[in-house]
Structure 1
């Protein structure tokens, strides 16, 4: 009977990926087989077979990034979890349908996308990690602390990529250069919603990414007390046209108002 861990490793290799053998019930690569960790991941079925012949209980992992998959890791930890950030990204349209979703032992997920050469990344305060070039993840049926990784869903014909840069900009954006002046104006003039500074930042935004920029700015304005009617001042500061019209902009600020108020309820 074929070892299920080896079978998973051979499936990774058949998909064009590279497999690793990790410690039984653990996440670290077994150093006697992989002295350089993920750099020694293999696409050789015979080598993988030898690994599991010597260590049949070893967990199985896959090197992430091209030519395999990029993976969004939603963590669940004692000090918080990544589900609120995941739901914000989904509501903003920044999470396309993944090729697969695996459940992790902590109660989180690994969501897989078409592999790229993007670098790995982490948003620690949001409990999200991005595994791409140079990274690896454990896959089913690996077990950590007695709990297995599981397959939740597959969409083998999906061809979506995840833009990690857009995710980072949305969840943890750099402070807009003019926003600080908006805050200062708010303190001196009594304007409470920061719209002047945000509008100044938005004024120079052109495609691509201006819809995401508008959504982000509208969310920040709502958090500072802006009404739905006041939000329309934001998109009037933008360069409309070229496929981005007033109706689309209006829908974006309405979505931002609804989503931000739901989060704070």
Structure 2
């Protein structure tokens, strides 16, 4: 008869394999929600001041024990990871990785905040609607919303940056998968969401989640009327090409992000026509392109493009 620990690990593996089948890279977790495999380099650190520290290994050594960098969708690799972690009680899902480029919105109620209400306010203020998507209920009464992001730019991890109680899991982070057993209890899929696809992140929300580059102290001067207003510097050209290279399913998101960056850096009015042309090349209609650019202008400057 299987021991409780062995049964728990077997169930965790089954849930992890199911997630991997959906294209979600997974790793084994302990009941503390930390990676279940110990780093193979824990005894290699030399604290001597005369010894330069080596760059952290992210799995290049070929050994398991590198946290989220071990995550895989390959069933054979997943089984090997769990075989090396016999006390695993759950699994983590790596965010920011293809094909979904998962973004996790963690609505955490542990600190007395009402993150659901705060997210609703953000949605009203920034004119986006949260789509129906996979939702995981946490033992503490919180929720994880799963959203699909673009391959670039990557969304960083953050804690209560958007509002108290709203944490974000992005590139380099992971979410505790449904079915995992932790010290607080079991994570469950919310009723009615198990069969849903991972919904794309609304462009306005993606703009809030993405890092905002610092604008120049002296915004570049716009050319006088009648002169060539096409972007000639590297940053403007890069934003235009970023939109031009968009594929179906990411065109509006890329345009919105690029337009926000342009307006934040004082380039919005000059760059808007080129961004619209790039969006048309990518497959958006002129009305869609202009509407998205106008939304970006309102969000970043409070004015209409």
The answer to whether TM tops 0.5 is yes
Higher relative helix content: 1
Equivalent of 1:133 in 166, 171, 183: 171
Corresponding position of 1:61: 92
The answer to whether residue 142 in structure 2 is matched with residue 108 in structure 1 is: yes
CA, structure 1 residues 30+102, in 2 after alignment: closer, same or farther (shift >3 Å)?
Answer: same
Equivalent of 1:15 in 12, 17, 22: 22
Gaps of 5+ in 1: 178-200, 219-236, 240-265
Corresponding position of 1:32: 38
Corresponding position of 1:210: 294
Corresponding position of 2:160: 124
Contact (CA 8 Å) 2:104, 2:147: kept in 1 or not? yes
Corresponding position of 1:70: 103
CA, structure 1 residues 16+116, in 2 after alignment: closer, same or farther (shift >3 Å)?
Answer: same
Looking at structure 2, the residues matched to 98 and 112 of structure 1 have their Cα atoms a distance apart, in angstroms, of 10
Instruction: Report the 3-state secondary structure (helix = DSSP H, G, I; strand = E; otherwise coil) of the residue aligned with 2:207.
Output: helix
Contact (CA 8 Å) 2:82, 2:88: kept in 1 or not? yes
The answer to whether residue 128 in structure 2 is matched with residue 87 in structure 1 is: no
Looking at structure 1, the residues matched to 15 and 189 of structure 2 have their Cα atoms a distance apart, in angstroms, of 12
Contact (CA 8 Å) 2:29, 2:88: kept in 1 or not? no
- State the TM-score, normalizing by the size of structure 2: 0.52
The answer to whether residue 160 in structure 2 is matched with residue 160 in structure 1 is: no
How many correspondences in the alignment?
A: 193
Gaps of 5+ in 2: 1-6, 40-63, 218-265, 273-289
Instruction: Report the 3-state secondary structure (helix = DSSP H, G, I; strand = E; otherwise coil) of the residue aligned with 2:168.
Output: strand
CA, structure 1 residues 46+7, in 2 after alignment: closer, same or farther (shift >3 Å)?
Answer: same
